[in-house]
Amino acid sequence: MVQYSTSRLSDSFSALSDATRRGVLEQLGQSDASITELADRFHMTLTGMKKHVGVLEQAGLVETEKVGRVRTCRLGLRRLEEEAAWIETYRQLWAARFDALDGVIEDLKRKETRDA
């Protein structure tokens, strides 16, 4: 079985659990932006946006660079392969369970048809 970093998964899923943070990632996927620009786009205070960016930065999903008084954000180098693999294991588990359930339903239908 594949071993996953519990801390890394927790940080990632915590960061991705918020709609604003997902929106920030989407925005940064299009172009880099300052915290001020992101705060304006999401109708937030600078303090609120700094907190969101901090969570994304802790998860490695965003990098920031301060030049003068402007802190610019960009997508981080970390990709979500480990998270995707973790999700895939559960997708496969549920797919197998649903396939088994389909088999049970088909057996019941055949039995019902035969008994009718």
Determine the CATH number of domain 6-75.
Answer: 1.10.10.10
**The pLDDT of residue 12 is above 80:** yes
Are 73 and 35 contacting, i.e. CB atoms less than 8 angstroms apart? yes
pLDDT at 100: 92
**Closest-CA residue to 28 (of 57, 66, 70, 68):** 57
**The pLDDT of residue 39 is above 80:** yes
**The pLDDT of residue 4 is above 70:** no
Domain assignments of the chain as residue spans, ordered by start? 6-75, 80-116
In this prediction, what percent of the chain has a pLDDT beyond 90?
Answer: 72
**The pLDDT of residue 116 is above 80:** no
pLDDT at 79: 76
Q: How far is CA 14 from the centre of its chain?
A: 8
**The pLDDT of residue 66 is above 80:** yes
